Structure 1
Amino acid sequence: MSEVRLSAETRTEFGKGGARRTRRAGKVPAVIYGHGADPRHVALPARELAAAIRHGGSNVLLTLDLDGGEQLVIPKSIQRHAIKGHFEHVDLLAVRRGEKVTIDLPVVLVGDVVSGGLVNQEHTTISVEAEATHLPTEVEVSIEGREIGTQITAADVVLPRGTTLVTAPETAVVIIAEAPTAEQLEGEVAEAAEELGIVQDKPGDATDEARADNAQPAEAAAE
C-alpha cells in the first residue's frame, strides 16, 4: 500500500463555528484516536487529503507531520458533504509500524454474470486484520462462470498475503440469483403501487378522457 505524508496542525477551535472556519481555510477538521491516549484535534489540508484517499483508497496510511514529530494514522470514518461531496470531518486511528489493525476492505466484483443470472452483492466490504503499514486497498471476487444459485461467502474470498479474515466465514458476500422475468417485474411494480395507494391508469383510460373532453353539450352542438 502507499504511504502519504501530510502536514497537520493542532486545532484550538472546536464546535460548529470552529469547524466552519477550519473548512473555509481549506482544511478538514479531524480527530486522532487510539493507543489509550486522549483524542487529538487536528486540521489536515483538504486538497492533499482528498488526493491521498482518491489514489490510496479509504485505508490509506498517512504520516502526519504534527507538532515537530510524526504520527502514523489511517482513516476510520469520513464524513462528506451530502451534496458537494467534499470532506467535512475525518476520524483517524493512530497506528504503529508492525501493529495489526482491523479494517473494512472493499469487495470489488469482476467478470460477467451468467446469462439469466442476477448478482446480489450482500456485503460491499469484509472486515480483515492486517499489518498497519501493509494494508490492502481492496479484494476482488470473480463472478465469471458462476452458476445460478451460487453463494460466495467471506471464507471463499481470496485474501492478500498477511491478511486474516475477521468477518464470520459463513457470511454471504455475493449470491447469483435467477433474474426475474418481465411478467414478474410487472407484478412486483403493480404490487408496490398498490401498497403505496397509487392508482395506475388502465389501457384506454387516456382515450376515454380525451373523448369526454372533446365532447360538446347537445345544446351547444345545436347552435
Structure 2
Amino acid sequence: MAANEIRLDAEARTEFGKGAARRIRRDHKIPAVLYGHGTDPVHLTLPGHETMLALKNPNAILTIVLEGGENLALAKDVQRDPIKPVIDHVDLVIVRRGEKVTVDVVVHVEGEAAPETNVIVENGTLSVEADAMSIPESLTVSVEGLEAGSQVLAKDVELPSGVSLAADEELLVVNVTQQISEEEMEAELAEAEAEAGIEHEESDEEAAEREAAEGEEGEGDGESEGSDDEGDSDKE
C-alpha cells in the first residue's frame, strides 16, 4: 500500500434524495458515488470520521472496500457544509496502479525574501500530472533572498521525479513586491476611495484638529490687520 493510500469500508446505498442523505449524515456517515473506467456509477456510504481524516490530503489514494471487492479511487469533488465542519457528499473516480492522473497539488513557500519585501502567493496550488500511486502531497517554492520584483512562475517550480507540469508554464505562482510604508498605504487607500466616490464622516478628533487649525489662521489674520492699523496711525 502506498504511503498516501487509505482503506475505507463502504456500504452500498439504495436510498436516494435529500431525506435519505440527511439520515445518512445523522448516522455520522457520508453519501458518495464511485465511477470511472467505463463502469456504472455505484452509490455508497462512507464512514464519516475516517473519510474526513483521509481527505485532509485531497489527493490521497482511497481503497474503497465494498462487498468484498476493492477499488482504488481519488476524491474528484468534495461538497462541504458551508457552516458545519462536515462533508455533505463525495464524488470518487476510479484509478488504476500505474495510471497517470492530473491533480492540483498545494504549493508551500519557504525561506525569507530580502528585507522590506512582501511575498504574495498568487496561486496556492499547481496542476501536475503524476502516477496515481506517487502523487506528491505538496510542492515547495523557496523565496530565500529574493529581491523585490522577483517572480516564481510555474516552470520555475521544482517537481519530483516522474511528475510533470500540467499548468501553463507562465502561470505566476509567487510574486515578491516592495514593501510600502503605512503612510503610502493610507494615501493609496484614500486615493482609491476618492475615485470610487466614498466619503467618510468627520470624526470628533478630526473636527477638533480642523477647528484648532482654523482658529490659528484666524489669529494670524487678526495680528496682520492690527499691524496695518498701527502703521496708518504713525503716518497720521
Q: TM-score, normalized by length of structure 1?
A: 0.85
Summarize the alignment of residues 13-162 of structure 1 with structure 2, pairs less than 5 Å apart. 13-54=15-56, 57-162=57-162
> How many angstroms apart in 2 are the aligned matches of 1:204 and 1:106?
47
Q: CA offset at residue 193 of structure 1?
A: 4.1
Q: Show structure 1 runs of 4+ deviating over 4 A.
A: 206-209
> How many angstroms apart in 1 are the aligned matches of 2:151 and 2:38?
41
Summarize the alignment of residues 185-204 of structure 1 with structure 2, pairs less than 5 Å apart. 185-194=185-194, 195=196, 197-201=198-202, 203-204=205-206
Cα-Cα RMSD: 2.0
Counterpart in the other structure of 2:226:
none
Q: TM-score, normalized by length of structure 2?
A: 0.81
Change (3 A) 1:207 1:156: closer
Larger Rg: 2
> How many angstroms apart in 1 are the aligned matches of 2:198 and 2:34?
50
> How many angstroms apart in 1 are the aligned matches of 2:208 and 2:168?
55
Q: Which amino acid aligns with 1:92?
A: L
Secondary structure of the residue aligned to 2:39 is coil
Secondary structure of the residue aligned to 2:137 is coil
Please list every run of 5 or more consecutive structure 1 residues that lacks an aligned counterpart in the other structure.
210-223
> How many angstroms apart in 1 are the aligned matches of 2:48 and 2:197?
44
Change (3 A) 1:200 1:110: farther
Between the aligned residues of both structures, percent identity stands at: 45
Change (3 A) 1:92 1:191: farther
Counterpart in the other structure of 1:221:
none
Please list every run of 5 or more consecutive structure 2 residues that lacks an aligned counterpart in the other structure.
212-236
Q: Which amino acid aligns with 1:164?
A: S
